[in-house]
Amino acid sequence: MVEARNWITRAFLCVFLALWGAMVHAQGTQSAPPAILVADDIQISQDRRLIASGNVEAFQGTTRLTAQAIAYNPDNGQLTITGPITLDDGNGVRILASQAELSSDLQNGLLTGARLVLNDQLQLAAVQLDVVDGRYTQLYKTAVTSCRVCANDPRPPLWQIRARRVIHDKEERQLYFDDAQLLIRNVPILYLPRLRLPDPSQDRASGFLFPEIRSDSQLGTGLKLPYFIKLGDHRDLTLTPYLSNRTRTLEFRYRQAFKRGRILFEGATSDDDLEPGEKRGYLFGAGRFELNKGYRLEFDIELVSDDSYLSDYDFSSKDRLDSQIQITRTKRDAFLRLGFINYKSLRDDEDDDVSPSDVLEALYERRFFPKSIGGEIRLAAIAHGHRRESSVDTDANGDGIVDGRDVVRFSLEGEWLRTYQLGGLQAQTRLGFAGDAFNISDDATSASSDSEFTPMAALTLRYPLAKQGRGRARHVIEPILQLAYVGGDNLDVPNDESTRVEFDEGNLLSLSRFPAPDRRERGWTTAYGGTWARYDPEGWSASVSAAQIIRQDAQQDFTVSSGLTGTDSDFLLAGQIRFVGGLAVSGRTLFDDTFDVTKAELRGDWSNSRLDLSGSYIWIDEDPAIDQNEPIGEVAFDGAYRIDRFWTASLDMRYDIEEGRAATAGAGLTYENECVRVGVNLNRSFADSTTIEPSTSLGVSVSLRGFSADTGQSVVARSCGKQAK
């Protein structure tokens, strides 16, 4: 009987609530959806007031209201609500209050003891809160913070903004403050009679960003105050004045997105004491556009007023700038690239006038799969040209380099590849040709033109062996042998493009290991080696490769540092290992038959829930043929350690082994929680040249969360617990 009576009561309430919703809807605008009320108990008083109590919920469109009791007066259409009250608009705006007087459509009214929560990030506590037309929320005597406030914690939040009045505009998603004070704990730091800030739902809004304090040994102590300007839905501009006792700098960044591409420009202009009376600046720009028929346009601009400007202001560590524009089209069986590059060196020992500064290149590649002969045919056509600013056609300095040489080269390559499977043996054949033609100007030591035809052939054999180890580990051993022939003779043309040669796993089976076609390996060559690998998805995995090249004739254009001099190359040894715990190490080295090392490289990374470490070691033997008169040795380290949920420490360093001193060093400490991010970093550059001086910089940055300061990273919020007595 009790269950039946409860069922009849609930059915009656549902019918009554539907009728009440229709009544409220009739009193409101025709466009507003009807209101729905759900409660444990509903009564109608003698003066026709509707009183709902016990777990009350009211719905109006996406707006949801929960309370302890609601009384509806049909004479004035007002709702008297007893708290605790929660009013959620369904779009990230939530109001908490103790008492409220609202209109029946929940769009206007007065709430006391109220708290406004925006996107679960920013909370505004006020003595009184007014809701106007469902758009504006006015709060009086307000405290604003994104820090978590615990009821049993007597301490004030880490930061807060107190204001006489705050208005939240839901449509514009802006917060307007009257008589605002910024407090750290309870200490006033800044007063502003008027203040406008975006609410947390804003991705992009015009206004000041949080400043950064910077102290530099060359530029002095100054302040960076960025201002973000929203120029529309698809473009924006950020201006950052940087003022100190030694510089007046304006930094800028412009971004714009188009329907089929985007551009980005950033730069700065400075008037400082480092170069008195000189206007200094830089401009970096990049863009990419998807054109019709699969073409892509890309450009990159890098300009600077003087060689040391980027280093002085820590804008970039680049010591060579490259500005380029190119058009590419990539299809399954075809590739096209047209490009132009301009180089500018910022190094003391490089002269742009005698270095190839303008480079123009066109490349077209095509693949065919003829059924009649099988395999794959590859064709490539290349046009290349580079020029120097100088027009001196002789070796003016006696170093074997003509200052003004300009070169134009045309190359045509073709090859046929086919793979045969003979049981467990895999054989790949390659037959091909190359034609190269050169035109040389402003060089009295070389012929003005020359050409060469080069036939090529190669046979590569592989015999992979696999074995299943313990558990799910799998071992693979693959010996490799290649016999190759490249005909013709190298032309007596200057070596402008293939001055730096690398020997590694990537070009082990190449028919020419020169980086450009102005040089080709000639004669008979044998490459042999092998690889062992262990794969285990639940354990450690590793691979080791070893190889050597033996040729009929030594190639005179290979230098010592390449590891390819003489008839027998250095031994190539490379490997990597990866553990389940997050540690990964890879290395590569070249050494001769007496174990003298030409090059060595080692890299390692280790990452877990609290630690991120990465380091590298590199060593290259001296090679006077490429103006490397001393060995190069360097160790680099970069790491971050999460001390606890909020604190993170970082350290990075580059150490020059040959010089016996650090090149750069830096350290940082960051505190981050749900409401603030504070970072302190210290950097030291030990570089010393005629254009770059050693410098030390200290930077302090502060970001208050809750005002569109989302970094895209998850943030740990403090938990509220019992306070120790």
For residue range 68-83, list pLDDT tens digits in order: 888 888 877 787 888 7
Give the model confidence (pLDDT) of 167-223 as tens digits: 999 888 888 999 999 888 889 988 989 988 888 877 777 887 778 888 888 888 899
Q: Which residues pair with 329 in a beta bridge?
A: 295, 336
Q: What is the pLDDT of residue 110?
A: 84
Decide if 525 contacts 512 (C-beta within 8 A).
no
Residue entry with tokens 């006696």: 398
- Give the lowest-confidence range in 32-46, 232-246, 271-285, 306-320: 32-46
Instruction: Give dist(CA 660, CA 587) in Å, integer.
Output: 23
Q: What is the mean pLDDT of residues 276-305?
A: 95
For residue 644, the one-letter residue type is D
Q: What is the mean pLDDT of the chain?
A: 86
pLDDT at 712 over 70: no
Q: Which of 213-217, 648-652, 716-720 has the lowest mean pLDDT?
A: 716-720
The partner residues of 696 in beta bridges, in order of sequence, read 684
User: Whole-angstrom Cα distance, residue 512 to residue 415?
Assistant: 14
Q: What percent of the chain has pLDDT over 70?
A: 90
| Model confidence at 153: pLDDT above 80 | no
Domain boundaries, given as residue ranges, for the chain: 42-198, 631-720
Among residues 344, 341, 354, which one has the least CA distance to residue 320? Answer: 344
For residue 26, the model assigns a pLDDT of: 39
Residue 411 predicted with pLDDT over 90: yes
User: Is the pLDDT at 591 greater than 60, yes or no?
Assistant: yes
Residues 614-634: tens digit of each pLDDT? 999 999 988 888 888 889 999
| 339-354 per-position pLDDT tens digit | 999 999 998 878 888 8
Consecutive H or E run containing 9 = helix 2-27
Q: How far apart are CA 125 and CA 142, in angstroms?
A: 5
- Reading the block at residue 144, the tokens are 């604003």
Cβ-contact 408, 384 below 8 angstroms: yes
Average pLDDT over residues 476-486: 96
Residue 722 has pLDDT above 70, yes or no: no
Q: Please report where in the chains the tokens 């469902």 appear, as a residue.
A: 134
Check residue 378 and give its pLDDT.
96
pLDDT band at 18 (very low <50, low <70, confident <90, very high): very low
Q: Say yes or no to pLDDT of 482 above 90.
A: yes
Q: Is the pLDDT of residue 151 over 80?
A: no
Give the residue, 671 or 133, on which the prediction is more confident: 671
Q: How far is CA 275 from CA 221, 320, 622, in A?
A: 18, 21, 36
pLDDT at residue 208, as a whole number: 78
pTM metric for this prediction: 0.79
Q: Which amino acid is at 543?
A: S
Instruction: Give the Cα separation of 598 and 620 in Å (integer).
Output: 6
Whether the pLDDT of residue 243 is over 50: the answer is yes
Q: What pLDDT score was predicted for residue 444?
A: 83
- Report the pLDDT value the prediction gives residue 397, as an integer from 0 to 100: 66
Is the bond leading into 84 cis (omega within 30 degrees of zero)? yes
| Sign of the dihedral defined by the CA atoms of residues 314, 316, 321, 326, in that order | negative
In whole angstroms, what is the distance from residue 107 CA to residue 582 CA? Answer: 54
pLDDT at res. 55: 86
**Cα–Cα distance, 71 to 79 (Å, whole number):** 6
Q: What pLDDT is stored for residue 633 in this prediction? A: 92
More confident position, 485 or 703: 485
- Rounded to an integer, the average pLDDT of 553-563 is 88
DSSP letter, residue 716: P
Distances (CA, A) of 46 to 27, 50, 70, 78, 429: 21, 10, 16, 17, 100
SS3 of residue 338 by DSSP:
strand
Element spanning 433, H or E? strand 425-441
pLDDT tier for residue 704 given thresholds of 50, 70 and 90? confident
Amino acid symbol at 323: S
What pLDDT score was predicted for residue 11? 38
> pLDDT digits over 343-397, tens only?
999 988 788 888 889 999 999 999 999 999 999 999 999 999 999 988 887 766 6
| Sign of the torsion angle spanned by Cα atoms 137, 143, 148, 154 | negative
Q: Measured between alpha carbons, how far is 361 from 382 in angstroms, rounded to an integer?
A: 7
Q: What is the DSSP letter of 628?
A: B
Reported CATH class of domain 42-198:
mainly beta
Task: Please answer whether residues 429 and 402 qualify as being in contact, where contact means their C-beta atoms are separated by less than 8 angstroms.
Answer: no
Most confident residue range from 54-63, 111-120, 285-294, 617-626: 285-294
Cβ atoms of 418 and 428 within 8 Å: the answer is: yes
Given pLDDT bands bounded at 50, 70 and 90, which one contains residue 49? Answer: confident
Transcribe 118-146 into DSSP letters: ETTTEEEEEEEEEEETTTEEEEEEEEEES
